[in-house]
């Protein structure tokens, strides 16, 4: 039997930061009595705020826009909670906030992994081995720039097609310097 999890999201204006009748709007994520707040980067009119409904009163354009925004944020936070549950990740209010903001492990970029490897393996690997990794990194960045027209990609975008395209890039690579196209063994090492 699973442990019961209590999860909730409420929206509150920060009255302590109120100016000229407006206050910043925050989402409060609560999981098993652990709370964390998240700024929604918008200010609302305090006289329009309905504390019981956690929404703006009325049918003005501002009220409709803010209430729709609240609905979107709520759905995205709830989806972040469900994803973490489905992935059997450790649940916490901080983990839900990180998933919502896209700064959890799922949203790492290729450059993050390359930099992590470079920093952590610098003292472990010999210079000759390390320079091979640097060469692979140069090939990856050239591939991203020329074929994908991008500086970086998310790790979840690295799939079979990416690997096949990178292999083709290596096999047909024409260097601007006098570096030869990698041999079959070289291509396999870079992959």
The answer on 117 and 100 residing in a single domain is: no
Domain boundary, last residue among 59, 90, 105: 105
The answer on 171 and 152 residing in a single domain is: yes
How do residues 111-135 score in pLDDT, each as one tens digit? 888 888 888 888 888 888 888 888 8
pLDDT given at position 66: 93
The answer on 66 and 23 residing in a single domain is: yes
The answer on 179 and 164 residing in a single domain is: yes
pTM over 0.75: no
The answer on 29 and 81 residing in a single domain is: yes
Domain boundary, last residue among 78, 105, 132: 105
How do residues 167-188 score in pLDDT, each as one tens digit? 999 888 887 776 778 888 888 8
Instruction: Annotate the chain with DSSP letters as a single string.
Output: -PPP--EEEEEEE-GGG-BTTEEEEEEEEEETTEEEEEEEEEEEEGGGEETTTTEE-S-SHHHHHHHHHHHHHHHHHHHHHHHHHHTTPPP-HHHHHHHHHT-SGGG-BHHHHHHHHHHHHTTTS-HHHHHHHHHHHHHHHHHHHHHS--S--BGGG--HHHHHHHHHHHHT---SSSPPPP-HHHHHHH-
The answer on 157 and 74 residing in a single domain is: no
- Domain membership of residue 139 (yes or no) is yes
- Domain membership of residue 115 (yes or no) is yes
Question: How many structural domains does the chain have?
Answer: 2
- Domain membership of residue 1 (yes or no) is no
The answer on 120 and 71 residing in a single domain is: no
pLDDT given at position 1: 44
Residues of the chain with pLDDT under 50: 1
- 44 SS3 class: strand
Domain boundary, last residue among 105, 126, 145: 105
The answer on 186 and 131 residing in a single domain is: yes
What's the DSSP call for residue 155? G
Residues of the domain holding 67:
7-105
Q: What does the alpha-carbon distance between residue 55 and residue 58 come to, in Å, rounded to a whole number?
A: 10
pLDDT given at position 30: 95
Please give the structure tokens belonging to residue 142.
């050239």
Q: What does the alpha-carbon distance between residue 77 and residue 99 come to, in Å, rounded to a whole number?
A: 8
């Amino acid at each position: 039997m699973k442990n019961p999890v209590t999860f909730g999201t409420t929206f509150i204006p920060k009255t302590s930061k109120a100016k000229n009748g407006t206050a910043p709007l925050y989402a409060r994520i609560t999981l098993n009595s652990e709370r964390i707040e998240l700024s929604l980067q918008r200010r609302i009119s305090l006289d329009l705020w309905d504390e019981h409904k956690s929404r703006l009163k009325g049918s003005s354009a501002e009220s409709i826009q803010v209430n729709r925004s609240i609905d979107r944020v709520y759905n995205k936070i709830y989806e972040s909670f469900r994803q973490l549950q489905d992935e059997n990740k450790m649940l916490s209010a901080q983990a839900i906030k990180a998933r919502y903001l896209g700064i959890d492990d799922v949203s790492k970029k290729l450059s993050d992994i390359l930099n992590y490897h470079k920093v952590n393996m610098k003292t472990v690997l010999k210079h000759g081995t390390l320079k091979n990794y640097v060469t692979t990194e140069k090939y990856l960045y050239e591939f991203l720039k020329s074929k994908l027209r991008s500086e970086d990609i998310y790790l979840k975008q690295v799939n079979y097609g990416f690997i096949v395209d990178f292999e083709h890039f290596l096999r047909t690579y024409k260097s601007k310097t006098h570096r030869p196209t990698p041999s079959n063994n070289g291509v396999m090492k870079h992959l």
